[in-house]
Amino acid sequence: MPPHPETWLHPRPEGLHCVPGDFFIDPTRAVDRAVITHGHADHARPGHRHVLASAETLAIMRVRMGEARAGAAQQAAAPGEIVRINGVGVSLIPAGHVLGSCQVVLDYEGSRAVVSGDYKRRRDPTCAPFVPVNCDVFVTEATFGLPVFRHPDAAAEIAKLLHSMTIFPTRAHLVGAYGLGKAQRLIALLREAGYDAPIYLHGALQKLCDLYETLGVPLGDLRPATVADKDALKGAIVLAPPSAVADRWARRLDDPVVAVASGWMRVRQRAKASGVELPLVISDHADWDELLATVEDVAAPEIWVTHGAEAALLRQLSLMGRRGRALSLIGYGDEAEQE
């Protein structure tokens, strides 16, 4: 009988540890051997000795932390390629979260666990879509694991932004969006909606937008906001990290319409409290319906929840006849980074 994944995959303070392979998935501190799902800072930490990840994730890590800190030895796995580590088959399958994001499929003596990393099921023109893989244990995030979280269609949120620009044609629209994934998805969705004017960027967003373009994701005419003529920003879209939207940086703009793109914008009080005039509910994480659909799609009898709102999800899983387990891993879901 194949060994149950709980005998060979253990939650540890550093993260999920594959015992026979002796590697960690998305470890929260520097380790000897790491498999990294994607480039967000809560999953991709600096200083590992050996890193296995998608080529895109490795490129993102090098841009964010520098060549030296992105891993002493870096090994890229192509989608679906099987890498053998001490008798464990490891393969990386797209997760649909940000460019290069992957689930980690682990096969050991006839038993299979899939570690999702962060994921979503909605279409995203900037990355490969999530591929469901049947498994014995599916390890999921639950950032939006409450029935109240049902993300609207992203294209409809983009339409809201474009509509606001017709109502306030002389005001800059300052949109808060995180630097890895959200900013590029927002730009790509605007381009898809037919918006081809220049989009102005806060300096912190430039490098990753450049990298996306290098890796084959076209983003159109992007210009630095900092050196732009004040008049050019009137009636334009300006993207900045959410922290910059709230601070001094935004004051260079004359009476901007302040927007933020995040799954958390579903929570009205949160939008209001942070002075957001135009909340855009655009998320790179699975919502409640996507979480449940994914559980069905991977046909796993058992689901482990790494982080997020797990109580409601665990209850729902038991109603669906699935065994659920809260891993309560610490150090993930830093909302300041990824949402």
Q: Which stretch binds Zn ion (CB under 5 A): 32-40, 229-237, 239-247, 257-265?
A: 32-40
| Integer Cα distance of 237 and 198 in angstroms | 8
Q: Which stretch binds Zn ion (CB under 5 A): 40-48, 132-140, 210-218, 293-301?
A: 40-48
Angle at 180 between CA 75 and CA 295, to 5 degrees: 75
User: Contacts with Zn ion in 136-175 (CB under 5 A)?
Assistant: none
Structure tokens at 183: 């900013």
| Integer Cα distance of 37 and 43 in angstroms | 7
Q: Which stretch binds Zn ion (CB under 5 A): 11-19, 52-60, 110-118, 122-130?
A: 110-118
Judged by beta carbon, residue 74 or residue 283, the one nearer Zn ion is 283
Q: Rule CB under 5 A: is residue 40 a binding residue for Zn ion?
A: yes
Q: Which stretch binds Zn ion (CB under 5 A): 23-31, 200-208, 217-225, 330-338?
A: 330-338
Q: Rule CB under 5 A: is residue 294 a binding residue for Zn ion?
A: no
**Which of 56, 118, 287, 339 touches Zn ion (CB under 5 A)?**
118
Least gap, CB of 83 to Zn ion (angstroms): 22
Judged by beta carbon, residue 112 or residue 120, the one nearer Zn ion is 120
C-beta of residue 26 within 8 angstroms of C-beta of residue 15: yes
Judged by beta carbon, residue 233 or residue 291, the one nearer Zn ion is 291
Judged by beta carbon, residue 264 or residue 332, the one nearer Zn ion is 332
Least gap, CB of 43 to Zn ion (angstroms): 5
Judged by beta carbon, residue 171 or residue 285, the one nearer Zn ion is 285
Q: Rule CB under 5 A: is residue 338 a binding residue for Zn ion?
A: yes
Least gap, CB of 39 to Zn ion (angstroms): 8
Site size with Zn ion, rule: CB under 5 A: 5
User: Contacts with Zn ion in 222-281 (CB under 5 A)?
Assistant: none
> Please, how many CA atoms are within 13 Å of residue 286, restricted to the half-sphere of its CB?
26
Q: Rule CB under 5 A: is residue 120 a binding residue for Zn ion?
A: no
Judged by beta carbon, residue 209 or residue 237, the one nearer Zn ion is 209
Q: Rule CB under 5 A: is residue 202 a binding residue for Zn ion?
A: no
Judged by beta carbon, residue 177 or residue 236, the one nearer Zn ion is 177
Angle at 117 between CA 43 and CA 121, to 5 degrees: 135
Least gap, CB of 178 to Zn ion (angstroms): 9
Centre a 10 Å sphere on the Cβ of residue 318 and count the other Cβ atoms it contains.
11
Judged by beta carbon, residue 40 or residue 185, the one nearer Zn ion is 40
Structure tokens at 102: 């992957």
Least gap, CB of 99 to Zn ion (angstroms): 11
Least gap, CB of 36 to Zn ion (angstroms): 11
Q: Which residues of this chain interact with Zn ion, rule CB under 5 A?
A: 40, 42, 118, 332, 338
